[in-house]
Amino acid sequence: MDIFEKCYTFTDAKQAKETGLYPYFHALETAQDTEVVMDGKRIIMIGSNNYMGLTSDPRTIQAAKDALDRYGTGCSGSRFLNGTLVLHEQLEEELADFFHKDAALTFSTGFQTNLGIVSTIVGMHDYIVNDSENHASILDACRLSFAKKTLKYAHGDMDDLARVLERLPAESGKLIITDGVFSMSGDIANLPEIVALARKHNARVLVDDAHGVGMIGEGGRGTASHFHLENEVDIIMTTFSKSLASLGGCIAAENEVIEYVKHRSRPFIFSASIPPANAAAALEALRIIRDEPQRQKALIDIADYMRGKLREAGIPIAEGSTAIIPVYTYDMNRTFLITKLLFDEGVYVNPVIPPAVQDGDCMLRTSYTATHTREQMDTAAAAFKRVFSRA
């Protein structure tokens, strides 16, 4: 069989486009902000991960411009060879300080960060234990590793995690991986219980805090800080494409771990380094988050306000305390219809369908920004009420 056969027979996207409900690849004509222009119309953006509102902040933009002027557009090599800038080292020093860890290491993307750390740290005699709702990059990282076995525990179920760990050889190496703030549900991992079980069963803990950084924790330091467990979490991972208003990712850990990954991680060694403008923007965003803790409060306040407005309107939502609010739509076709109707009303949301969720659990993933206004939320909530009354 021709390996392209699957491509030629793929019709899902075509069918969705024919119905007029295809919800993907809308092109922005403006910067990512609380309001954007898509398809020629003004839209309230509640589907972005721009949690701190820094992608269009003049300071992050200026930092990127200054880096372009000083360093050019790219590094033309990997960090391992000619691609390390003083700027990369400065970013890593400040990230390590921010996370209260010995050292940090940056990667070219967040996805690649998980590939780079998991595939390097976990050996052929080791086990990986995953929350069932961990991000796709973690799942692919597990596939890339030489782990003896990768096991899952039911999302947030500490009894199930204990059961999984008890089945593993006591002397074996084990890595428990969990999202800090889960990207779809907005749930916060039960890190105190995870850490306690890790210590009981001689396991290490990796927290993917792509969505937690900026959003929770003292000064926006994420989930480990939120629970005062920075000394108990072995590796903290995050991305720059969300609160840090750029592109890239990093891990923070003890010196020996960072040094090992630096010299053994294939995704790190064989990839070009983060371009200067991206590194500079991430560094400036990190400093703003550190110096302006009011942004974190503004983010949670606006999300709580919208949560209340959606409740008042009778919209079915998942309760929580983060800036991610899932809105239940259940059926896939209905999800696409509601997404389209909301877009027509001037509100952008993200439809979430299988395999990202189970059949029958389709939702709209809404997420908020520190710079959203209550007036924008009132307008968006009114649109939700109108759309849900007829869909």
DSSP string, 286-331: HHHHHH-THHHHHHHHHHHHHHHHHHHTT--B---SSSEEEEEEES
**Cα separations in angstroms, 388 against 279, 316, 321, 340, 345:** 42, 10, 23, 12, 12
Q: Which of 52-66, 148-162, 237-251, 349-363 is predicted least confidently?
A: 349-363
267 prior amide bond cis, ω within 30: no
CATH number of 9-45+293-388: 3.90.1150.10
The mean pLDDT of 92-104, rounded to a whole number, is: 98
Instruction: State whether the Cα torsion 222-193-352-313 is positive or negative.
Output: negative
pLDDT digits (tens, 9 = 90+) for 241-278: 999 999 999 999 999 999 999 999 999 999 999 999 99
User: Mind listing the pLDDT tens digit for each residue in 326-341?
Assistant: 999 999 999 999 999 9
Element housing 91 (H / E): helix 86-98
Cβ within 8 Å of residue 213, ≥6 positions away = 220, 221, 222, 238, 242, 243, 244
The catalytic position among 174, 226, 242, 340 is 242
State yes or no: is 271 an active-site residue.
Answer: no
Q: If you average pLDDT over every residue of the chain, what do you get?
A: 96
Please compute the mean of the pLDDT values over residues 190-201 and round it to a whole number. Answer: 98
Q: How far apart are CA 72 and CA 160, in angstroms?
A: 51
SS3 193: helix
Contact 222, 209 (CB under 8 A): yes
User: Among this protein's residues, is 265 annotated catalytic?
Assistant: no
Residue 378 has pLDDT above 90, yes or no: yes
What pLDDT score was predicted for residue 283? Answer: 98
> Domain coordinates of the chain in residue numbers?
9-45+293-388, 58-291
Report the share of the chain in percent with pLDDT over 70: 100
- Active-site option among 108, 183, 243, 246: 183
Q: Reply yes or no on whether the pLDDT at 355 is more than 90.
A: no
Does the active-site annotation cover 135? no
Distance, CA of 44 to CA of 361 (rounded, Å): 25
Are 162 and 129 within 8 A, CB to CB? no
Q: Which of 101, 201, 211, 372 is catalytic?
A: 211
Residue written as token pair 């990512």? 32
What value does the CA radius of gyration of the chain take, rounded to a whole number of Å? 21
Q: Is 314 exposed, middle or buried (0-12, 13-18, 19+ CB in 10 A)?
A: exposed
* Closest alpha carbon to 87 in 100, 69, 109: 69
Q: What is the average pLDDT across 96-119?
A: 97
The residues with which 237 forms a beta bridge, in sequence order, are: 208, 251
Q: Output the pLDDT for position 7.
A: 96
pLDDT for residue 391 is more than 90: no
Q: State the fold for domain 58-291.
A: Aspartate Aminotransferase; domain 2 (3.40.640)
State the DSSP code for 180.
S
Angle between helix axes 276-291 and 86-98 (nearest 10 degrees) is 30
Q: Is the pLDDT of residue 1 over 90?
A: no
